[in-house]
Structure 1
Amino acid sequence: MSRRTAVFGAFLGLVTLATPLLAQSTSDVRFEAGNYGTMVNGAIIGDEYIDYRLGAKAGQEMFVELNVTDSNGNGSVFFNILPPGSDGLAIYNSSMDGNSVTQALPTDGTYTIRVYQMGNDSDTGKTSGFTIDLSIQ
């Protein structure tokens, strides 16, 4: 390997590390007229993650409950709640605090529910189906 190739490879690696992670899938969640909640269904593969976005106001409460419906692994599926403008810092992390929460919302804006797998399921490309019961009041 030439020195030029090695330097370019190292540069490419640094650029890749500096690039923020983007969700492989992003969906805007909307409630039907007159409803304050909905069910979301999905599936996650390996180390990907899925972002579900919805608007809310400061002082409202968001209820999120994630259930694994099927998996060819251990079903290690979790979610984070990211506040408006977050660069990945969560106000709730279900891998630490459980897959059901009623979270008070601190500011107006678009919140993101980021669904992901951890551990062996993430590392070995396992697939897990899930449902999310979601409401804002």
Structure 2
Amino acid sequence: MALQWLILAYAVAAEAAIAILLTIPSPKLLKNRLVSLVSLILQPALFIVPFAGFQLLDIYWKSEHRLMCTSEICTAAERDRYEKSIYKAQRNVILCAAACLLYWSIFRICKYYKDVQRLEEVEKRYKEE
């Protein structure tokens, strides 16, 4: 199970790095190449959305079937283990949400950049006429 979260964490880190690369100012030629490369990667990288959704369902199912340790008969170790599992679940929910949000933002950044590029080309054609 930890391997799934490791894969998701690396995917989120890669998405964050790509989002930063897309938003920093850079020369137009470099930006064109970067956007075209990221656009090619976006479709295969779509696996992250259903993967994160599946992980969210897994977290929900585990939280519904988790043994509660709120009574006074629980030992301190059991209570600590219960609280630790709750914190890990909250961290993993944030990780899943970040994966989906970062994928969407990268997709929109690329789409906006392509739209701006297309409009610049149309404007250039109108100026030439």
TM-score by length of 2: 0.23
Higher strand share: 1
Higher RCO (C-alpha under 8 Å, 6+ residues apart):
2
TM-score by length of 1: 0.22
Higher helix share: 2
